[in-house]
């Protein structure tokens, strides 16, 4: 499907909330699986967070997955004045959470930046709490609202559109997550298709707030429809 | 101060949100510090949770401090149909949180019972996230609202009043926590004094929702005032 999109001359940007690996490693995995994708074609939360940190002169304390650390290599992390939270997985220890909390509560105005707000995800050994759950824990403890830089943040989609160099009305989002993918893209002025694969659940079709522009059974069908309408 | 209250013939009940130890151990510590208190004079979240579990035929999965486990010794914990969350401290590991989460999300109607909703507390080695933060994480991940059995739950104060055998209008709460102690007791129809010690912060005097019936500088002053009015 990716190949057919590219062959048609359409531009493609992959929007992921992956925060357990650098874009480089993420792309390497995808390429190993046969997907023809380059790092420049990936929009991910960590680079978005780095842009935000630079713009605002913020020095983060990182509570993220070890494999994500290289994305922040160029960022000044001395004397932190904010906390950046990713899906830290095994790094979500009692000690690390207390450390992040103490830094936040010690700030005059706590700044918590979250690379996503997912509730949970599935791995081969079962469901796992996602970064959003830990974000809520710190938000509550510090009485602060996190700034989310991953999907469904409007900023995130805007940055993907900027990479593509197209206005929102000329872009279509295809995703399996009714809120993060479909809702986020629509908020940004894009049309959005929901695939009935992956995270899709039948109850999504009665979602109280988000209604996709169309449902498709899978990515191949989404591409069929888009190419037919060119 | 406790001695003066008892000597005056007034009844006394200690309402604690302590969930890192059994009432027996809690009382042992207090007695070692010179406080004349018995187990029957302590209302604590774990026994309140046990009553609730029995009433509703619930079998808990426990995510609590090891030292609290004896309070649940008599409770059937096979094939759990709810999760009970306490201040588990070092037991708040990534693995344990995922386990509690998986049990909840696997229930047709997840039941999460929390022994408190404190945001954080201070120990000799610094501030620690309290049970409320982890409660929020699980609430968000499972899209469920926890039932809180500790302060400021109305039920909790009602159970303390039942132990005393007095109606709320004849009872006075003395506490340092504007929301858990003062707000909770007032919701239950009691009057409440806030002491300007412990958790008290000057900003409490401008709290948007809770206004104590009076402020006192410390417990001794609270007792002075109460005894004067007898």
Contact B16, B43 (CB under 8 A): yes
CA dihedral of residues B94, B125, B114, B21 (deg, nearest 10): 110
| Cβ pair B133:A143 closer than 8 A | no
Q: Where are the alpha helices (DSSP H) in A106-218?
A: 131-142, 154-164, 184-187
CA-angle at B155, arms to B84 and B113, nearest 5°: 15
At residue A139's C-alpha, the angle toward residues A72 and A93, to 5°, is 60
Q: What is the torsional sign of CA B118, B122, B127, B128?
A: negative
Instruction: Give residue A199's pLDDT.
Output: 84
- State both tokens at A202: 């039948």
Best residue in A134, A148, A201, A208 for a mutation probing chain B (most B CBs within 10 Å) = A134
First to last CA, chain A: 16
- Among chain B, residues having any CB pair with chain A shorter than 8 Å are 89-90, 92-94, 97-98, 101-102, 105, 119-120, 126-130, 132-134, 136-143
> Could you give phi then psi for residue B23, rounded to 5 degrees?
-60, -40
Looking at residue B165, what is its pLDDT? 94
Question: What is the rounded distance in angstroms from the CA atom of residue B13 to the CA atom of residue B122?
Answer: 24
Instruction: Report the C-alpha gap between A205 and A222 in whole angstroms.
Output: 17
Longest dimension (CA), chain B: 57
Average pLDDT per 10 consecutive residues for chain B, totaling 230 residues? 91 94 95 94 94 95 97 97 97 98 96 94 91 98 96 92 94 95 96 94 94 96 92
CB contact under 8 A, B94 and A93: yes
- Nearest-neighbour CA in chain B from A83: distance (Å): 16
Q: In the prediction, which pLDDT does B130 show? A: 96
Confidence of residue A148 (pLDDT cuts 50, 70, 90): very high
Domains of chain B in sequence order: 1-11+159-228 (3.40.50.1000), 46-148 (3.40.50.1000)
Q: Which two tokens stand for residue A11?
A: 């531009």
* pLDDT (tens digit per residue) in B165-199: 999 999 999 999 999 999 999 999 999 999 999 88
ipTM of the complex, rounded to two decimals: 0.88
How much of chain A is in helix, strand and coil states, percent to nearest 5?
45, 15, 40
pLDDT category of residue A134 using cuts at 50, 70 and 90:
very high
How far, in Å, CA of A170 to CA of A175, rounded? 17
Chain length of chain A: 230
């Amino acid at each position: 499907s990716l190949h057919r999109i590219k062959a048609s001359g359409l531009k493609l940007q992959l929007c992921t909330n992956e925060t357990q690996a650098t874009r480089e490693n993420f792309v390497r995995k995808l390429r190993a699986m046969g997907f023809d994708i380059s790092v420049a074609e990936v929009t991910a939360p960590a680079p978005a967070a780095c842009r935000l940190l630079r713009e605002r002169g913020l020095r983060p304390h990182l509570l993220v997955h070890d494999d994500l650390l290289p994305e922040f290599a160029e960022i000044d992390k001395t004397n932190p004045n904010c906390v950046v939270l990713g899906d830290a997985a095994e790094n979500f220890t009692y000690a690390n959470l207390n450390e992040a909390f103490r830094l936040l509560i010690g700030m005059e105005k706590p700044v918590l930046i979250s690379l996503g707000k997912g509730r949970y995800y599935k791995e081969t050994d079962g469901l796992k709490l996602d970064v959003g759950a830990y974000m809520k824990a710190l938000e509550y403890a510090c009485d602060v609202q996190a700034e989310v830089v991953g999907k469904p943040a409007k900023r995130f989609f805007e940055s993907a559109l900027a990479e593509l160099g197209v206005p929102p009305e000329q872009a279509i989002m295809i995703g399996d997550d009714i809120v993060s993918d479909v809702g986020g893209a629509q908020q940004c002025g894009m049309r959005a298709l929901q695939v009935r694969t992956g995270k899709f659940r039948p109850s999504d079709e009665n979602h109280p707030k988000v209604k996709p522009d169309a449902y498709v059974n899978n990515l191949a069908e989404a591409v069929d429809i888009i190419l037919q309408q060119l």
